[in-house]
Amino acid sequence: MTFSTIARLGKFQGHLFNWYDTKTLEPLYPQYISTVDSGNLAGHLVAVKQACIELPDTRLFDERIIAGLHDTVDAISFEAAKLGSVRQRTDVVTVSQLRDEIEACRKLLVTDATGFGELDKFV
């Protein structure tokens, strides 16, 4: 869809203008071509192409990400433990339900760390 929209944009000798009206797709004034912005677009398109090539062979959640998620769940668990002494219910769920969800997250992370890729289902 992005490329079909770009194809519909007015151009000057094949080059995109710097600004367009997002509703009409007409170039906005002052109309000019920016070599810097054109270069940035080209560079970003190269990066997107490379990501598309590599993505099918790359796990979205590698060991580093899993470790970071473990740290996050630990921090949430630490804070949730404080809730029990203050009150038994948050605004939405009980403290017990919150702890159950935290434990479910821990189990999911352990399963994914063993290579089953459960986290990849959530993308």
**Which alpha helices (H) appear in the chain, and where do they start and end?**
2-8, 35-54, 63-86, 95-113
Query: Is the whole model's pTM more than 0.75, yes or no?
Result: no
Q: Where exactly are the structural domains of the chain?
A: 2-57, 63-122
Kindly calculate the radius of gyration of the chain based on its CA atoms and give it in whole angstroms: 24
- Whether 102 and 77 have beta carbons less than 8 Å apart is answered as yes
According to DSSP, the residues that pair with 94 across neighbouring strands are 89
Place of tokens 């063993």: 114
Closest CA to 69 of 113, 101, 114: 113
Predicted confidence pLDDT, tens digits, the chain (123 residues): 788 999 999 999 999 999 999 999 999 999 999 999 999 999 999 999 998 998 887 777 778 888 899 999 999 888 888 876 666 666 677 878 888 888 898 888 877 555 545 555 544
**DSSP 8-state assignment for residue 10:** -
- Residue 77: how many other CB atoms lie within 10 Å: 15
